[in-house]
Amino acid sequence: MKKTVLEIEVRYFAGMRERAGRDSEVVETAAGTPAELYAELRARHGFALEQAHLRVAVNDAFAKWETPLSPGDSVVYIPPVAGG
Amino acid sequence: MFRLRPERLDCSALAQGLGGDPRVGGCVTFAGVVRNHNNGRAVERLEYEAYEVLAVAEGRRIVEEALEKFDVLCVECEHRVGLLEIGETAVWVGAAAAHRRAAFEACQYVIDELKVRVPIWKKEYYTDGGAEWVLCAHCSAAGPHSHPEHVHSA
C-alpha cells in the first residue's frame, strides 16, 4: 500500500539551524511520525545528534516521538538546551 | 511570570517589583551572569537563541509550578536572548514569600528547571576566535525530571 505523502514545516534552531543552513523548510514526506521524519532529515542534513538526545515539538507543544503527523503540522527538533 | 528580553535586564527594577505585597517578609533573587571562561576556555561573549513560543510557554509553566509547590507570594523570571558581553545578566529569578525558606526553594526550583526544560540555546564565542553551541546531551537524554546533580554553567 502506498504511504500518504504529507507536507510538514520543519523549523531549526541553534546548531541544527547552522547545520541545515536554513531556519525552516517545508518537506514532502512519507514519514508518519516525528521519529521517522527525523531519520530522513538526519540523513539529508547530516545532523550529529541521535534522536535519544533530542526532544520534539509539534505545533509549538512538546510531543511524543510516535505522535502521528498531519498535513501542515509544524515540527521542531529540540537539541539539548543550555539556558541560564 | 516569565519573559524573554532582547535588551538588558533591569535587575533592580525586577527586585523592587517583588516586594509590593505587604505580606512579603523575604525576597530571594538569583542572577546568572556571563563569565569569561567555561570548561577551561576563555570566553569573549555569548549568544542566546530561543524557540520563543515554546520557551515562554515552558518558562511560565515552571513559574506556575513554583507558585503551587512553595508557599510564595510572587515568582518572576526573565531570560535574555541575543548577544551578551561578559558581566551581563543572562537570567534573573526572584521569589517573594512571607518567610525565607519558601522564597529560597522557589528561586532554586525555577533556575534548576529552566536549565533543563526551557528551549534556549547558548553559543560561546572564544577569545581564540572559535565558537560553539553548548551541549549538555547528558541532561537532555536523561529527561527533565531525572537529570543528575551536576552544574554546567552559572
Say yes or no: A49 contacts chain B, CB-CB below 8 A.
yes
| Interface pTM, i.e. ipTM | 0.94
Cβ-defined contact of A13 to B51 (cutoff 8 Å): yes
pLDDT confidence of residue B136: 63
Q: Which of B106, B74, B69, B76 is nearest to B91 (CA)?
A: B76
Nearest CA-CA partner of A33 in A63, A12, A54, A13: A63
Report residues of chain A scoring pLDDT below 50. Answer: none
Question: What pLDDT, on the 0 to 100 scale, is given for residue A1?
Answer: 57
Q: Indicate which CATH number applies to the domain containing A24.
A: 3.10.20.30
pLDDT of residue B135: 82
- From A57, which residue of chain B is nearest by alpha-carbon distance? B54
Is A73 among the domain residues? yes
Give yes or no for A30 touching B (CB within 8 A). no
List domains and CATH numbers for chain B: 2-142 (3.90.1170.40)
Q: Would an 8 Å CB–CB cutoff place B83 in contact with chain A?
A: no
Listed in sequence order, the residues at least 6 apart from B73 whose beta carbon sits closer than 8 Å to its beta carbon are B21, B23, B24, B96, B97, B98
How far is the CA of A16 from the CAs of A12, A19, A46, B72, B152, in angstroms? 6, 5, 10, 39, 21
Q: Do B114 and A83 touch (CB under 8 A)?
A: yes
Is residue B3 less than 8 Å (CB to CB) from chain A? Answer: no
Q: Which residue has the cell 534522536?
A: A51
> CA of B50: which chain A residue's CA is closest?
A13
Question: Within a 10 A sphere around the Cβ of B23, how many other Cβ atoms?
Answer: 9
Backbone angles phi, psi at B135, to 5 degrees: -120, 130
Which whole-number Å values give the CA distances from A75 to A7, A65, B35, in the listed order?
11, 11, 34
User: Mind listing the pLDDT tens digit for each residue in B17-59?
Assistant: 998 899 999 999 999 999 999 989 999 999 999 999 999 999 9
CB A15 within 8 A of CB A28: no
Range of the domain at A31: 6-78
Residue A1, in any domain of the structure:
no
B17 contact A CB<8A = no
Q: Identity (one letter) of the amino acid at A67?
A: T
* Residue A83: inside a domain: no
Q: pLDDT in tens for each of the 154 residues of chain B?
A: 999 999 999 999 999 999 889 999 999 999 999 999 998 999 999 999 999 999 999 999 999 999 999 999 999 999 999 999 999 999 999 999 999 999 999 999 999 999 999 999 999 999 999 999 998 644 444 444 444 444 443 3
CB count, 10 Å around CB of A6? 18
Q: What pLDDT sits at residue B148?
A: 41
The residues pairing with B48 across neighbouring beta strands, listed in sequence order, are B82, B122
Locate cell 535586564: which residue?
B9
Rounded Cα–Cα distance for residues B18 and A68 (Å): 44
Q: Is residue A55 included in any domain, yes or no?
A: yes
Indicate the number of domains in chain A.
1
Per-residue confidence (pLDDT) for residue A3, from 0 to 100: 72
Residue of B nearest to A52 (CA): B141
